[in-house]
């Protein structure tokens, strides 16, 4: 039975389930009892339980698999403030994991019209396009597609494990800041398979244009993060 207090019952149910997860009563990946069993255990109606489960699903605490059941979701291994600019390598290392790279492709292509617009250069001739999978302790967690004007990166070595940020700095280009667009998506036919995702695992897509200390665009990246492994947060200040 959950404890009675002045808050709505569904909030008490949410706290109770989270408490049971923290105490190890329910473990990651474990299936919750049926709605009938769980509502009886907690002493609440099934309508109250469903509202609590809906909110827990919104928070990614649980995940529902249609026709199978409700399961405790995997806790993100990596958490970062979106206002802080870290390379993927640094994010993985900050999570106390070994960062690795699986190279899928590397090529020098003619820039598209969108590339010329993004990099504010109508005379752009060559673009380095790099496709990689970043790993944490050998597990694939991020799919990366990076585009860099070749004149910014004359010494690029595709098989090098070092982060692109570090390689750019060694070439004389220092990343100062990035403009970021975030898009949550569901299953991606190609990327989800590359990252070995379950069908219900969502992805967080970060599209970023990186600028140097002269405010020139130097690196455009599209990174697909496994949402069960990464959590991003942002500090928001009230404007008066």
Residues 198 and 142 in one domain: yes
* Tokens linked to 117: 């617009």
For residue range 44-54, list pLDDT tens digits in order: 999 999 999 99
Place of tokens 């002045």: 6
Residues 36 and 141 in one domain: no
Residues 51 and 86 in one domain: no
CB 82 within 8 A of CB 231: no
Residue 239: inside a domain: no
Structural domain of 22? 9-72
Pick from 21, 47, 72: which residue ends a domain?
72
CB 147 within 8 A of CB 221: yes
In SS3 terms, 36-50 reads as: HHHHHHHCCCHHHHH
Residues 120 and 175 in one domain: yes
For residue range 9-22, list pLDDT tens digits in order: 899 999 999 999 88
The Cα 189–Cα 199 span in angstroms is: 10
Q: What is the mean pLDDT of the chain?
A: 87
Q: For position 240, what pLDDT does the model report?
A: 78
- 16: left (phi > 0), else alpha (psi -120 to 50), else beta? alpha
Residue 240: inside a domain: no
The Cα 95–Cα 111 span in angstroms is: 36
Residues 101 and 212 in one domain: yes
Query: What CATH number has the domain bearing residue 160?
Result: 3.40.1410.10
The Cα 99–Cα 90 span in angstroms is: 8
Q: For position 3, what pLDDT does the model report?
A: 55
Q: Measuring CA to CA, how many Å separate 184 from each of 121, 169, 206, 226?
A: 30, 30, 9, 10
Domain count, the chain: 2
Q: For position 52, what pLDDT does the model report?
A: 94
Q: For position 212, what pLDDT does the model report?
A: 92
Q: Which residues of the chain have pLDDT under 70?
A: 1-5, 75-84, 157-162, 236
Q: For position 174, what pLDDT does the model report?
A: 87
């Amino acid at each position: 039975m959950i404890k009675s207090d002045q808050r709505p019952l569904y909030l008490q149910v949410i706290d109770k389930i989270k408490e049971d997860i923290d105490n190890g009563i329910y473990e990651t990946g474990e299936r919750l009892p049926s709605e009938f069993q769980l509502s009886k255990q907690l002493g609440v109606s099934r309508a109250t339980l469903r509202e609590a489960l809906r909110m827990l699903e919104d928070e990614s605490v649980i995940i529902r698999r249609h026709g199978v059941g409700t399961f405790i979701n995997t806790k993100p291994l990596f958490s970062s403030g979106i206002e802080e600019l870290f390379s993927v390598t640094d994010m993985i290392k900050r999570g106390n994991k070994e960062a690795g790279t699986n190279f899928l492709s590397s090529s020098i292509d003619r820039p598209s019209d969108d590339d010329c617009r993004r990099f504010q250069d109508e005379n752009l001739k060559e673009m380095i396009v790099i496709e990689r999978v970043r790993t944490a302790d050998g597990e694939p967690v991020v799919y990366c597609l990076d585009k860099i004007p070749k004149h910014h990166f004359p010494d690029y070595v595709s098989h090098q494990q070092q982060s692109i940020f570090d390689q750019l700095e060694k070439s004389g280009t220092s990343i100062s800041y990035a403009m970021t667009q975030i898009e949550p998506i569901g299953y991606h036919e190609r990327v989800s398979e590359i990252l070995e995702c379950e069908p219900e695992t969502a992805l967080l897509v970060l599209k970023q244009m990186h600028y140097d200390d002269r405010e020139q665009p130097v690196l455009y990246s599209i990174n697909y993060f496994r949402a069960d492994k990464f959590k991003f947060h942002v500090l928001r200040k009230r404007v008066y």
